[in-house]
């Protein structure tokens, strides 16, 4: 597996910082290369230019996230009217394959990560995110954005079975990020059918192709009440359907939870890392949604460093990474 982080800005300083931490590859939000609105097809020349810059810092591009927000690349597909968007998504996946990007991440939600709040609730007053369904359960959907379970699956399947062949041809793995928060049966009028093991399994079974897989966000998974986090990692890992990992922690589960530092919370992260190693996971693994340390930079450099150090130590502890060169005596 490869230590990864989100390249929130394309600066040399951030690239240099990540490499100093031992990061090997990065994830980018494709929208940053698709101005002005994150629509159409990612420009191949721009993607290659970014890869050349990353290479100068001994980094590679490990994950390309398709644009997510309203009115971006495949927004209308989520509304059930795909128009030419599927063709543009397939062409973007093709460009990623031509550039050697191994994984393309995608999501399927109209409200995205919604209903949470941030405040000084983590250890020592660090800023973190928490969710309380009672505070948002009566909020109605935006006009046209309410969708029931059957229609959600119908729209999703129509899209999925048309992009997987393109991913196969491009030799790219797709990584689907489950819904966060996973409050069921609905949140703001949207069916949360992709929030539990059954939904994840059904998604994978919609297309038997090895290209069809998951971004296993451990935080979103742990937010599900009664979730068997380690068992879920093993189930999909043994089937080689985990193509990206968000390695993060929460305390509690729906209807209420809060994000915590990577060294606390409800899941044993050492045991989780052991399972990834045992099933032979070989793609990117990265922190996500970390609590913000006091005095940190806008990009959260100190908070990132803390999370990466912990992840790298776990990788070494389970034998997934060598301990590195030792200083001379």
| pLDDT tens by residue, 100-116 | 999 999 999 999 999 99
| Domain, as residue range, for 59 | 2-317
Q: Is residue 324 part of a domain?
A: no
In this prediction, residue 253 carries a pLDDT of 96
CATH number at residue 231: 3.20.20.150
Q: Is the pLDDT of residue 82 over 90?
A: no
**Cβ atoms 179, 198 nearer than 8 A:** no
Q: Is residue 12 part of a domain?
A: yes
Residues 229 and 24: their CA atoms lie apart, in Å, by 26
Q: Is the pLDDT of residue 328 over 50?
A: no
Residues 292 and 187: their CA atoms lie apart, in Å, by 27
State yes or no: cis peptide before 181, omega within 30 of 0: yes
Q: Is the pLDDT of residue 44 over 60?
A: yes
Q: What is the mean pLDDT of residues 82-109?
A: 96
Looking at the structure of the chain, the number of domains it has is 1
In this prediction, residue 324 carries a pLDDT of 60
Q: What is the mean pLDDT of residues 191-217?
A: 96
Residues 38 and 54: their CA atoms lie apart, in Å, by 22
Return mean pLDDT, the chain.
Answer: 95
239-290 pLDDT per residue, tens? 999 999 999 999 999 999 999 999 999 999 999 999 999 999 999 999 999 9
Q: Is the pLDDT of residue 326 over 70?
A: no
Q: Is residue 182 part of a domain?
A: yes
Q: Is residue 326 part of a domain?
A: no
Q: Is residue 328 part of a domain?
A: no
Q: Is residue 206 part of a domain?
A: yes
Q: For residue 43, give the 3-state DSSP assignment.
A: coil
Q: Is residue 36 part of a domain?
A: yes
In this prediction, residue 279 carries a pLDDT of 98
Q: Is the pLDDT of residue 192 over 70?
A: yes
The reply to whether the predicted model has a pTM over 0.85 is yes
Q: Is residue 322 part of a domain?
A: no
């Amino acid at each position: 597996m490869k230590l990864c982080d989100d390249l929130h800005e394309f600066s040399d300083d951030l690239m240099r910082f990540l490499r100093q931490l031992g990061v090997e590859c990065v994830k980018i939000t494709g929208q940053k290369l698709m101005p002005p609105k994150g629509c159409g097809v990612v420009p191949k020349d721009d993607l290659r230019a970014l890869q050349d810059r990353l290479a100068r810092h001994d980094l590679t591009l490990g994950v390309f996230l398709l644009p997510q927000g309203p009115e971006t690349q495949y927004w209308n597909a989520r509304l059930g009217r795909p128009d030419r968007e599927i063709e543009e998504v397939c062409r973007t996946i093709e460009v990623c394959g031509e550039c050697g990007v191994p994984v393309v991440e995608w999501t399927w939600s109209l409200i995205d990560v919604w209903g949470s709040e941030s405040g000084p609730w983590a250890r020592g007053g660090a800023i973190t995110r928490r969710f309380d369904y009672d505070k948002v359960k009566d909020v109605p959907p935006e006009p046209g954005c309410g969708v029931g379970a059957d229609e959600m699956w119908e729209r999703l399947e129509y899209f999925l079975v048309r992009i997987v062949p393109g991913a196969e041809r491009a030799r790219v793995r797709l990584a689907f990020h489950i819904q966060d928060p996973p409050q069921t049966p609905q949140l703001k009028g949207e069916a949360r059918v992709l929030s539990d093991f059954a939904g994840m399994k059904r998604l994978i079974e919609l297309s038997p192709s090895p290209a069809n897989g998951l971004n296993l966000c451990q935080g979103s998974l742990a937010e599900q009440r009664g979730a068997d986090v380690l068992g879920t990692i093993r189930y999909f890992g043994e089937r080689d359907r985990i193509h990206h990992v968000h390695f993060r922690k929460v305390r509690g589960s729906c209807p209420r939870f809060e994000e915590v530092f990577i060294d606390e919370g409800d899941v044993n992260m050492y045991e989780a890392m052991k399972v990834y190693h045992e099933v032979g996971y070989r793609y990117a693994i990265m922190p996500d949604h970390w609590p913000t340390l006091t005095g940190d930079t806008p990009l959260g450099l100190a908070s990132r460093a803390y999370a990466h150090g912990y992840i790298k130590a776990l990788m070494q502890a389970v034998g997934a990474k060598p301990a590195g060169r030792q200083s001379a005596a």
